């Protein structure tokens, strides 16, 4: 009954404004999605993944990493696109308006890019960032798992978030680090494995860094991080 929904609650493409007929749950028309939901292909900082041109440091590293000297627990971070435009609208629609089919569109779009990162690094286990069971009940799904389902990539939900914490987006960097300390545990062994942690957005990296710490403590040899989107620091 999509046509009926379309008549009752018309929705429009977030980029060109065209009417999304029989495409009710999506946020953009096919053409705009293809044009705007594309990978960021310029140089990324080897340590934190930040686009180097937006925070020029020296060579392979961004200015933030050079000045802070911060060392992350994970070995490498890769992302698909900047958290901006259609990508931001899509992730917001998925998480805050619970438009589940958007997850599957995102998954299909990033599949090739993510697969090649997995192959290049010999990743053996893909682990989605978990939600606490209360958040899961509230949203009805884990957006990371749903995006992975759309990508067709096999994943292992072997991580658990054991405490409910305030939303990271409401906190500064230092508070974010404290906020996630000790809240994750794994339910299956990762000893001698190369693992990839999959999240929707990378902002300060506090969550994935804490998870990488737990995975390394449990014997993972390498921890890679892949996110759909990356939030650059304010210039
Ligand atoms: Zn459009
Ligand atoms: Zn950096």
Distance CA 28, CA 13 (A): 4
Distance CA 209, CA 168 (A): 13
Q: Are 159 and 187 in contact (CB under 8 A)?
A: yes
Share of the chain above pLDDT 90, in %: 77
Quote the ligand 2 centre to 141 CA distance (angstroms).
Answer: 32
Q: Which helix (H) or strand (E) holds 12?
A: none
**Over residues 45-67, mean pLDDT:** 93
**Over residues 79-97, mean pLDDT:** 95
Quote the ligand 1 centre to 117 CA distance (angstroms).
Answer: 29
Q: Are 215 and 191 in contact (CB under 8 A)?
A: no
Return the CA Rg of the chain: 18
Considering only residues 129 and 167, tell me which one the structure prediction assigns the higher pLDDT: 129
Quote the ligand 1 centre to 28 CA distance (angstroms).
Answer: 5
Question: What phi and psi values does residue 64 have, to the nearest 5 degrees?
Answer: -60, -45
Quote the ligand 1 centre to 27 CA distance (angstroms).
Answer: 9
Nearest to 154 by CA among 197, 125, 191, 183: 125
Q: The pTM is what?
A: 0.93
In CATH terms, the fold of domain 45-230 is Rossmann fold (3.40.50)
Q: Are 84 and 91 in contact (CB under 8 A)?
A: no
Considering only residues 59 and 220, tell me which one the structure prediction assigns the higher pLDDT: 220
For the chain, domain boundaries:
1-36, 45-230
Which ranges of 26-99 would DSSP assign to H, the alpha helix? Answer: 30-36, 63-68, 85-96
Q: Are 220 and 78 in contact (CB under 8 A)?
A: no
Quote the ligand 1 centre to 139 CA distance (angstroms).
Answer: 27
Condensed to tens digits (0 to 9), the pLDDT of residues 102-157 reads: 999 999 999 999 999 999 999 999 999 999 999 999 999 999 999 999 999 999 99
DSSP conformational letter for 84: S
Quote the ligand 1 centre to 20 CA distance (angstroms).
Answer: 8
Q: What is the 3-state secondary structure (H, E, C) of 104-151?
A: HHHHHHHHHHHHHHHHHCCCCEEEECCCCHHHHHHHCCCHHHHHHHHH
Other beta carbons within 10 angstroms of residue 182's beta carbon come to 11
| Ligand showing the shortest atom-to-Cα distance for residue 36 | 1
Neighbouring residues of the ion ligand 2, judged by CB less than 5 Å: 45, 47-48, 50, 62, 65
Distance CA 211, CA 24 (A): 36
Neighbouring residues of the ion ligand 1, judged by CB less than 5 Å: 13, 15-16, 29, 32
Condensed to tens digits (0 to 9), the pLDDT of residues 184-230 reads: 999 999 999 999 999 999 999 999 999 999 999 999 999 999 999 99
Distance CA 116, CA 128 (A): 18
Distance CA 216, CA 218 (A): 5
């Amino acid at each position: 009954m999509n046509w009926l929904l379309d008549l009752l609650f018309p929705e429009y493409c977030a980029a060109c404004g065209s009417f999304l007929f029989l495409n009710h749950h999506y946020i953009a028309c096919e053409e705009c999605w293809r044009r705007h939901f594309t990978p960021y292909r310029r140089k990324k900082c080897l340590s934190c993944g930040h686009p180097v041109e937006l925070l020029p440091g020296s060579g392979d590293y961004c200015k933030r990493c050079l000045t802070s000297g911060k060392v992350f627990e994970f070995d490498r971070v890769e992302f698909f696109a900047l958290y901006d435009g259609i990508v931001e609208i899509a992730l917001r629609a998925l998480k805050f308006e619970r438009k589940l089919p958007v997850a599957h569109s995102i998954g299909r779009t990033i599949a090739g890019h993510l697969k090649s990162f997995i192959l290049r690094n010999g990743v053996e286990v893909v682990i989605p960032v978990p939600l606490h069971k209360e958040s899961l009940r509230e949203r009805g799904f884990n957006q990371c798992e749903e995006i992975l389902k759309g990508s067709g990539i096999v994943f292992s939900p072997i991580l658990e978030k054991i405490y409910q914490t305030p939303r990271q987006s409401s906190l500064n960097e230092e508070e974010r680090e404290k906020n996630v300390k000790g809240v994750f545990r794994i339910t299956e062994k990762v000893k001698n494995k190369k693992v990839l942690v999959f999240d929707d957005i990378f902002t300060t990296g506090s969550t994935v860094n804490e998870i990488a710490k737990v995975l390394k403590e449990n014997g993972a040899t390498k921890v890679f991080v892949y996110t759909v989107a990356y939030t650059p620091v304010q210039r």
